[in-house]
Amino acid sequence: MADRFVNLFEPDTLLPAQFFAAFSRESTVVRERKLMLAVLQDAVECYQKYALARDPRGRLLFEDANEWISSGEREWPFSYENICDVLGLNHEYIRRGLSKWRQQKGPIRHTVAKIVSVLDRPVLHTTPAAASVGEPPLQQAS
């Protein structure tokens, strides 16, 4: 009978993973939501950062983000629409906002500098000191 009580007071053998598993079950959902938010944030940042990119790498990053955001796929757990649903965000509202943002940015407009000969430039013979004394500005040199 004494042998039965000896086993009663021996410690149970548990692996650390088994012990901490009970505490981490509740926070797994929180971690998954944080990961989903990070994926969405990265996609929006790539969309905005590379929307007007001209280099191949930037264009590829933009196209990947745009394709993911535009996709209506729901089979993959980390699809755009599934992530928005889990996070409680309206996926169409975000799509429209990004589209409107891109339209406002528009294409990059390059202006061409006009090259003017030194002889064609107007020459003013006035200095800031002369203007402060009250002298009238001089005429352009002919």
Q: How many domains does the chain have?
A: 1
Q: Rounded distance, CA 83 to CA 97, Å?
A: 17
Angle made by CA atoms 34, 85, 64, in degrees to the nearest 5: 75
Q: Residue 119's pLDDT is what?
A: 72
User: Is 134 inside a domain boundary?
Assistant: no
Q: What is the per-residue pLDDT across 68-87, written as a single tens digit (0 to 9) for each? A: 999 999 999 999 999 999 99
Domain-located, residue 73: yes
Of all residues in the chain, what percent carry a pLDDT higher than 70? Answer: 56
Sign of the four-CA dihedral 97, 103, 104, 106: positive
Residue 100 falls inside a structural domain: yes
Q: Collapsing DSSP states into helix, strand and coil, what is residue 31? A: helix
CA-based R_g, the chain, Å: 33
Which residue did the predictor score with more confidence, 87 or 142?
Answer: 87
- Containing domain of residue 43, as a range? 2-110
